[in-house]
Amino acid sequence: MSSTTTAPNIIFILADDLGWADLSVYGQTDFQTPHLDALAAQGVRFTQAYANSAVCSATRFALITGRYQYRLRGGLEEPLVRTAHKYGLPPEHPTLPSLLQGAGYETALIGKWHLGNLPTFGPLKSGYQHFFGNYGGAIDYFTHKPRVGEAVARDLYEGEVPVERVGYYTQLLADEASNWIRQQSAAKPFLLSLHFTAPHWPWVGPEDEAVSRNLTDIFHYDGGNLHTYAKMVRSLDAAVGQVLQTLQAQGLSDNTIVVFSSDNGGERFAKTWPFTGQKTELLEGGIRVPTLLRWPARLKPQVSEQVTITMDWLPTLLAAAGVAPDARYPSDGENILPVLEGQAPVHERTLFWRYKAQRQRAARDGRWKYLKINDNEFLFDVETDTLERANLRHQQPAVFARLRQAWADWNAQFLPITDEVITHGLSPDIQADRYAPDLATRGM
């Protein structure tokens, strides 16, 4: 496809660790998120959208490649932390930005990368022409460092050059994105990936610079409370509103696809009702994410019950742009545009997950969900039992056996999580282990 003025612009906004009900349009009652609520009213609000993983970088592999992350060695680390210098997104692998760039799009990533470190990996090596943000998983919102300490280098870059900026990171990203949009020519469409770190720890709001500088550890156990978390999410909402206002001021809103989602479920202070579980867990609260899509030129406002997952965005956005995928790397996701445009009915599909050396397994097929945590196995009807309390494996033995085998057949297609992966990755002790005793009482 040659670039034309009719090709849609694309802005993909990704929050970090945002819980299912952290937006008021999804059920948050402790505070309001007016800008994201307005985006939901103007477009599609998904009720059954999933992340590809219960943690950060694994989902990002799926987003940028349109494939299950388990096809790539870097996608096995869950998340990619200790070996980010060695394993990451191979520069030769086709990606959403590289395919769109090849079709005439301007491409930029502003915010979090988390798909491997320099010098081997990076946004500029995988299809983005402009990058401003952090390479790793998390940084302090004011010091922009991945750890506490004066001698610690900032993880803040423009392209592949470290830079210094003053200010709250969420706002810095909003300002950078707004400026980049203003610089775009109407002659070429663009892809802007705006990947916030909010509301990922450290727990610091936009007025909390003094708190930030007094932290002894930016890790998620240090500090924080519901009030601070609310400030972080409201700041994220305001940042999105600023970017959308810039888009409107440039006269680009009508033919710009705006997607908003999260890389996994919420963490310590997030609201996930009516689900249970959180980040690092394959319970619904760890993988079901708030997701919005607006494209006034082609999609009418609606609430969609279509089951969808992160890796669907590559085939969906390529189809919207009229860009062919790379036949050598077929997507594991689906183009959901026909459903959203009313050309095809909502359809059932089967999705699969695994986490931490397969100590957690899950499959979703229609109303049924197979779940394994350590040695405990479950079958839930997630349409009626959103809290995943009633284990139906003995009442529905045929369904249980079918999904259990389907997961095994699916898993056999992908790279195994070997002892070497566990050794190089984070500690194999996962937060979900604390749920095992409770889960074992749920009708086993």
SS3 408: helix
Q: Are strands 161-162 and 360-365 parallel, antiparallel or unpaired?
A: unpaired
Distance CA 344, CA 235 (A): 38
Q: Which residues are catalytic?
A: 56, 114
Three-point CA angle 80, 84, 86, nearest 5°:
125
Q: How many CB atoms lie within 10 A of CB 266?
A: 27
SS3 360: strand
Nearest alpha carbon to residue 180 among 3, 314, 11, 8: 11
Nearest alpha carbon to residue 362 among 345, 346, 379: 379
Three-point CA angle 386, 24, 315, nearest 5°:
70
Cα-Cα-Cα-Cα dihedral of 70, 71, 73, 77, to 10°?
-10
Distance CA 184, CA 205 (A): 31
Residue 342: strand pairing partners = none
Gyration radius from the chain CA atoms? 21
Q: Which residue has the tokens 């775009």?
A: 184
CA distances from 5 to 12, 38, 189, 252 (A): 19, 26, 7, 11
Give CA 205 to chain center in angstroms: 21
Contact 158, 132 (CB under 8 A): yes
SS3 380: strand
By 3-state DSSP, what share of the chain in percent is helix, strand and coil, each rounded to 5? 30, 15, 55
Q: What is the DSSP letter of 41?
A: H
Q: Which residues of 325-351 are buried (b: 16+ CB within 10 A; e: fewer)?
A: bbeebebbbbbbbebbeeeeeeeeeeb
**Angle of helix 34-42 versus helix 226-249 axis, rounded to 10:** 50
